[in-house]
Structure 1
Amino acid sequence: MKHGLGGLLLLAAALSLQVACGAVDEAPEAPGLGVAEQATRGLLPDLTVEEISRSSGGFKARLCNRASHGSESTFTVLMTNDGTGSSFQTNPVYPFSVPAPGTCIWTGGISCTQLGVGCKDFITLTVHVDDTNNVIETYEDNNTMTVSFREDPTLPDLTVEEVIRTTGAYHARYCNRGIVDSSATFAMRFRNVATGQSFDMTNPLTVPAQGTCAWTPQLPCIVVGSNCADTIDVQVTADVNGAVSEWSEVNNDAVAHFTPSYALPDLVVSNVWRQGSAYVVSYCNQGLGTSTLRFQLRLMNATSWWTYQTPSYAPLPVPAPGQCAQVETSTCLGPSCWPGSFWVTVDVSNDVFESNESNNQRYMTFP
């Protein structure tokens, strides 16, 4: 007993000496993580759920990696009906791969019946990405999102799908992804993410017809504290005041990142020639950027007014910077279409924002 008491006294003295000499550190900032693991936290992915969508048949979620690093790990996704507790986990035999840094993926559709609900019923749904914690991430506390859906989804659904910066202004493309039209009007907000400076387009915009999109009028860069050539993140929000009753109220905004090197396409007609009983038009993108938008091309005889225009259901894609493409007109054998002089125009309806909008037309004469 005497020996045991002496040992305890010696241990207490040793601990006191360690504290005095600074040998005992404070608790680590992330308890339970080894030093090596803490050091690598900045080199890990960061999975988030950023959108939940409901269609007439089920639910799907948009999953993103918001870090600057990826991972070879895979994961599953758990969807839970918060009202009933019914849940569905995606197939672990075919797991998802971590998206590349800064990119997103969509889950497949999870049927409403798998969550114990009809697709027109009210539901509060929680989506948990990497629900089994198989992926080591920078942050582990931002893997869920909860959204409530209205009882009847037969409503419009406004989304912002593209933000463009020209040499003097911003434009945003907004769409109605719902399954009905609406006569409601709304305001659009442009906001400088870094400074919070914002501008509301209070001149009301009309909800596009179901499945269609429209562009906002141009907004001068200066109203959000930008000079149109700076590095900036711009958030654009449709229906900022909640004037439109929508299918989903959580997908109304988008954030676009612009840098001084941000560039636009520049479409031009490079050449036109006769080939058999038709014409071939070569068009090029001589700009420094490209676009996901598509356009129509028109060839018109300046004397007879014979016209060929690419069909609206098959618009042409913008070539990559410095690249060209060709399109052949329909057959024309009558005197109305040749020979003669022609006006050839690319981007007839100005659907594509370009660095130069004044060089889309060319006048050519054929013998």
Structure 2
Amino acid sequence: MTREDDARRAGSAAFRGVRAWEPVEHVALDRAGERIAAGGFWVVVATFEGRLDAWRMARVERDDARPEPAPKPGRDWRGPEAHSWSTSLDEAAYRAGVERIRGDIREGDVYQVNLCRMLEAPLPAPEPGPDAVALAHRLATGNPARHAARIVIPRADAWPGAWVVSASPELYLRIDGTRVLSSPIKGTAAPGEAMLPKDEAENIMITDLIRNDVSHVALPGSVTVPEFLGLHELPGLVHLQSTVAATLAPDYDWTPALWPALLDGTFPPGSVSGAPKSSALRIIEREEPGVRGAYCGGIGWIDADRREAELAVGIRTFEWVPDQGGRLRFGTGAGITWGSDPYGEWAETELKARRLIALASAPRMAT
């Protein structure tokens, strides 16, 4: 077949060259335990709301050293106008949401909630979407990320498509044989600024949540925290990161039961939902208009033949959707605790979005 589906850099720098030619098999991951266990290299895009899609690649190219390719001449990224971005929650609405969540915390309903807002701008383009190669190259140059991804799967009658370009710094799940890792990020500051006690408190809460989530498939006694409150400098900001590790129990050691159980226990990622997760999700549904989509979901790959997998948390992520003539979407949010300041939380969402929205927008014209 001549059509090329593109899943380059699907979740890890270790797989910078991933391409697929038809046939490509699509399957909903929550019903795919037996197929994935049978083998193959799968590219995964999961929405925050729970749609879990995977495509088995017919051909995979691996090259750890090859960088994200530069677009060919004439293929520079052409993003939306900077002034065309809108937000699902303006500053007043976001601050009011923070206050309501603090009320939920005061009443004992929840300890922490990740409150997000979606930015979007019109970006007309024919299917399968705008030039993802050009945007991925711009992000790789201006905002390099450990778990960068570019996944473009054209839509077809047999399966849904996907258009995602991500500069995620956060690991949702990594599996290497029987070893499972998850590295939640909670706590954000501008370069040179100190983390607040609130930042450390929310990281501790979410790390404990991830320990519980992973334990659903872990060998009893194997869950550890090899990294705790680690400081990680990224372009334009600093994060706190912890890492949870575990060993798969024999019943889940790449058996058909692994992925249904692992996703049921850990999805959506705790760092972008809250604690307790069930209460946080209920409050998120109350406070956030619309859906997050791939933002805050899971993006990456599963190699059942090598018994390896890596899924990133879909933060710092652009998703193009074809409805309304074509729209580019980007989410940003902050973790709300009792110690949250509504103005500070809004400022954190601005900090997280500023650099990436500038990279994805059309440059300002000189006056």
Please give the TM-score of this superposition, normalised by the length of structure 2.
Answer: 0.24
Q: Considering only CA atoms, is the larger Rg found in Structure 1 or Structure 2?
A: 1
Quick one: higher RCO (CA 8 Å, sep 6+), 1 or 2? 2
